[in-house]
Structure 1
Amino acid sequence: MNKLVLLIGAGFSCAVIGRELAEAGHTVTILDARDHIGGNCHTERDADTNVMVHVYGPHIFHTDDEEVWRYVNRFSTFKPFVNRVKTTAKGQVFSLPINLHTINQFFGKALRPEEARAFIEAQADTSIENPQTFEEQALRFVGKDLYEAFFKGYTQKQWGCSPTELPASILKRLPVRFNYDDNYFAHRFQGMPENGYTPLIEGILDHPKITVRLNTRFTRDMAAGYDHVFYSGPLDGFFDYELGRLGYRTLDFERFTHEGDYQGCAVMNYGDEQVPFTRITEHKHFSPWESHEGSVCYREYSRACGADDIPYYPIRLVKEKSLLEQYVKKAREVDKVTFVGRLGTYRYLDMDVTIREALDTARGFLNHLEAGKAVPAFFVDV
């Protein structure tokens, strides 16, 4: 039986869910408050330089999920792209993640892998047996010098608090390599959509049973007349922030242009605490198969997210987790609404995970319909 489904947000989450439901025969309407699709993955050509610009900051596609990789390649040609991040610290440029070249350059050594492993272990604070904080994790596994050069200042700027207040789990995602591999990601499939993310999402939304309305801000009364709603906006926003606001970090971008090549790489981090920005991204390097004389760059500044700012990174410390539990309880009491995506589930999600969860959510929805069961507010553990 055909269902009328309303989806809030035209980013990857609702685009993928909408496409799956449309292909299953349901009628899909997607609303977005912005004047474009793609959410924070939106890309567009700069009018002056013709550089493909990642308007809300760079997005690099990487995954080990073969089904997700096949899925995005249905709608766009992906070109090879390897993210080779550099960092400026203490007046020198190093490669990240920390690898054998970084170690040898930083300490003025010429160590082989086994020697470097033993050397770093000697730098580590082995008295820390069970690291609880970001700082303890760093001191235990890379030692004071590397921590202070590459992690301490950057982390304080990014999160707006001391690394002693952050959980160790944040740093566990960052590897140390005892070889010369400077590929930032270790996933099998890595690349960039040849013409940017917006045409990719346009392709996903290109279906006769999907209607997209932009410049349309969702209010709960709009759900009337629909059989189900998928909501990818802020979880607390759905309830008009009645219990308070969940904490986020937001980003300010200082855009500037340059004639020629500004920094020679796509991403340059700045680890020193006294440098106010966290990194500079040079967008033409995200499309290395293109050639451009001019360049578009962003300086990135991280700060606390205000009521009118775009939320980027959920903070998820003790205070936020307590408030999150209250909102999750309220969400589970709402009928015929499922919360999805980064904002709807208050979790940091890479694009491939977003798509995986969207596919699984759409299939879960269809299975619940077939079984005559009520559709849950969440298909993931938040």
Structure 2
Amino acid sequence: MKILLVGAGLSGAVIGRQLAEAGHDCRIIDSRPHIGGNCHTERDPETGVLLHLYGPHIFHTDDEGVWDYVNRFAEFVPFQNRVKTTSQGAVYSLPVNLHTINQFFGKTLRPDEARAFIESRADRSIAEPQSFEEQALRFVGPELYEAFFKGYTEKQWGCSPRELPASILKRLPLRFNYDDNYFFHRFQGMPRAGYTAMVAAILDHPRISVELETPYRPEMAAQADHLFWSGPLDGFFDYSLGRLGYRTLDFERFTYQGDYQGCAVMNYGDRDVPWTRITEHKHFSPWESHEGSTCYREYSRAAGPGDIPYYPIRLVEEKSLLAQYVELAQAQKAVTFVGRLGTYRYLDMDVTIREALDTAGVFLGAEKAGEAIPAFVMPPL
């Protein structure tokens, strides 16, 4: 079959590779001048540092199958993300752990003592937290909430934490030991040559053709037996019902001779600091040595037409509009919507790859059985 895949990021590359290995001809197009989507990496010509052009991407997973898959196409070097935060004139480690608690409150608590101490600061009148703020007040108390979560969240999402669901904070751990590894997955690492080199290896197959700086046009679908769409779900329908809400990021690049901040990621929790964090990219490749350094200040704002969509908002209004777009998508023939943008969900890289592998499997199974593949293998709602 002739397969058209829109988007040369992880979803398009992995699905294309799986289908190409099964004997299908895969044409992959992307409107950008590079492959890799938002995990694109390239060398800074000024400092030689390997840059994550669309913000940091650290690979972490408990999915051994996905870990084996990426290691088939790249050499992964062990890497643990150790995030710091500047708040109220001091630097702390994240996620909030025993060191953070003792440092912030000026104590020397043991784990059991710290657990009891935090519980004593928590608002125990909140039985079932509904909002981000209620979740924070119930589980970490007002002091830690104000210092580490409130200002940062207001900057990141552009709204009060009272308006955000509690589920956002539930993803952030609170540790009563000195473990400052930001993630807790078994497998964590960075591809030595960068993510773009890894995606290039995935795409390196005789049945795959890649066309960059090639925006999708509806007439292209007529030349294919099936279309996989990893662009914005609302974009497929030319935003006919309105635009789904996203946050986007602006990056302010600067260089420094030496080591600017001593870590890869420094968050800024204070509301009066306009950026959310500063990333120093040579620390994402600690096996390399560079005298110069390339850093980025990140600013979050609402995405408009022409902006790169990063984080789906998914509040009540957006979910209502999403349901309407899902209904339109399910009426399409021979189109499957995939990935972060195609399903309007925030996905880590390992989940994106797992879903791409599963989607390719569903497609091949349906083809063999003579059945139609669904518009969504992973339902957005």
Taking structure 2 as the reference length, what is the TM-score of the superposition?
0.99
Question: Residue in 1 aligned with 2:343?
Answer: 345
1:254-306 per-residue CA deviation (whole Å, 9 max, x = no partner) reads 00000000000000000000000000000000000001000000000000001
The one-letter amino acid paired with 2:215 is: R
Report the AA paired with residue 21 of structure 1: L
- The one-letter code sitting in structure 2 at the alignment partner of 1:317 is L
Query: Where in structure 2 are the equivalents of 1:217-228 lying within 5 Å?
Result: 217-228=215-226
Please state whether the residue corresponding to 1:207 is helix, strand or coil.
coil
Partner residue in 2 for 1:263: 261
How far apart are 1:375 and its partner, in Å?
1.0
Aligned equivalent of 1:195: 193
Q: What is residue 242 of structure 2 aligned with on the other side? A: 244
One of 126, 131, 134 as aligned partner of 1:133: 131
The 5 A counterparts of 1:74-223 are: 74-223=72-221
Query: Match of 2:173, as an amino acid?
Result: P
Report the alpha carbon displacement of residue 48 of structure 1 after superposing the two structures with TM. Answer: 1.5
User: How far does residue 117 in structure 1 lie from its aligned partner after superposition?
Assistant: 0.2
2:81 pairs with 1:52 = no
- How far residue 104 of structure 1 moved from its aligned partner, in angstroms, is 0.1
Point out where structure 2 has 5 or more consecutive residues left out of the alignment.
none
Q: How many residues align?
A: 380
Deviation of 1:234 after TM superposition, in Å, equals: 0.2
- 1:221 maps to a residue whose letter is E
1: CA distance, partners of 2:78 / 2:287:
9
Whole-angstrom CA distance in 2 between matches of 1:334 and 1:168? 34
Q: Deviations over 1:295-327 (max 9, x none)?
A: 000000000001010000000000000000000
- Does the residue aligned with 2:278 lie in a helix, a strand or coil? strand
Q: CA deviation at 1:349?
A: 0.2
Q: How big is the shift at 1:219?
A: 1.6
Residue by residue over 1:110-151, the C-alpha shift from the partner in whole angstroms, topping out at 9 and shown as x without a partner, is 000000000000000000000000000000000000000000
- Which of these residues, 360, 363, 366, is aligned with residue 365 of structure 1? 363
The aligned residue for residue 303 of structure 1 is 301
Identity of matched residues, %: 75
1:244 aligned partner, one-letter code: G
Q: Distance in 2 between matches of 1:105 and 1:379?
A: 47
Structure 1 residue runs of 5 or longer lacking an equivalent are none
- C-alpha distance in 2 between matches for 1:163 and 1:307: 25
Secondary structure class of the residue paired with 2:242: coil
Amino acid at match of 2:356: A
Instruction: Kindly provide the CA deviation profile for residues 314-358 of structure 1, in whole angstroms up to 9, marking residues without a partner as x.
Output: 000000000000000000001100000000000000000000000
- 1:354 alignment counterpart: 352
Q: Distance in 2 between matches of 1:100 and 1:195?
A: 35
Q: CA deviation at 1:38?
A: 0.3
Separation (CA, whole Å) in 1 of partners of 2:220 and 2:269: 46
Provide the TM-score with structure 1 as the length reference.
0.99
Query: Which amino acid letter does the alignment assign opposite residue 153 of structure 1?
Result: G
Q: 1:225, 1:8 → 2: CA distance?
A: 13
**SS of the residue 2:125 aligns to:** coil
**Which whole-Å CA distance do the structure 2 matches of 1:225 and 1:282 have between them?**
45
Aligned letter for 1:332? Answer: Q
RMSD of aligned Cα (Å): 0.4
Indicate the residue corresponding to 2:10 in structure 1: 12
SS in 2 for 1:212: strand
Aligned equivalent of 2:310: 312
Aligned position for 1:274: 272
Whole-angstrom CA distance in 2 between matches of 1:214 and 1:223: 17
SS in 1 for 2:293: strand
Matched, 1:289 2:287: yes
Partner of 2:223, secondary structure, is coil
CA distances 1:80-122 after superposition (whole Å, capped 9, x unpaired): 1100000000000000000000000000000000000000000
Give the Cα–Cα distance (whole angstroms) in 1 for the partners of residues 80 and 188 of structure 2.
7
